[in-house]
Amino acid sequence: MAEAESIQAAKQLEAALKGITVADGYFTDAGKNVIRGFLAHAVDSDDQQCPFYVIQPNTESTQSPHPDQARVAGAFIIFVVDKVDKSDRLQAAVRDLRAALKLMEQRWQSPLVGALDIQPAQYNPEPDSNYALAALPAAISYIEQYQGD
């Protein structure tokens, strides 16, 4: 069975981020540690290598131009997580993330996936935490098609 369009979009994000390595011309190796899920679970792991990316679902919006499909702006927040004392590396990992997302947009693998909207990064270190964060909201437009019984 085919996967839901939202899962296809998340997997494309994950694949793009996993390509972020110094060997591939990026500034960091943050792509070696990519998690699809929720930030709270990722930072609770004691064995997490830094820096790392977390692809977390966010609020989506929909339009229904036809009874058998919906246009969806599937939203994700991509967190860049690093140790508090590594702010230069955090900024480099954010730059790598933007570059990888722009390359991904040029190489879409699904005819149902459309535009990518990348928002500016928001930096906000967590108080009383060993981690510093940058959050980069991204929305991927895609079409969900439904079949009746």
Instruction: Note whether 61 and 73 are within 8 A (CB).
Output: yes
Assign 149 a pLDDT band (cuts: 50, 70, 90). Answer: very low
Q: What is the pLDDT of residues 80-133, one digit of tens each?
A: 988 877 788 899 999 999 999 888 877 765 555 567 788 889 887 566 667 888
Mean pLDDT of 56-84: 80
Spatial separation of the C-alpha atoms in residues 90 and 115, rounded to whole Å: 26
Q: What value does the mean pLDDT take over residues 59-72?
A: 75
pTM: 0.82
Residue with tokens 């535009």: 115
7 Ramachandran zone, left/alpha/beta (phi>0; psi -120 to 50): alpha
Concatenated DSSP letters of 45-110: -TT--SSEEEEEE---EEEEEETTEEEEEEEEEEEEEEETT-HHHHHHHHHHHHHHHHHHHHT---
| Higher pLDDT, residue 1 or 67 | 67
* CATH numbers and ranges of domains, the chain: 5-145 (3.30.70.1700)
pLDDT digits (tens, 9 = 90+) for 4-57: 778 888 888 899 999 999 999 999 999 999 999 998 888 877 677 889 999 998
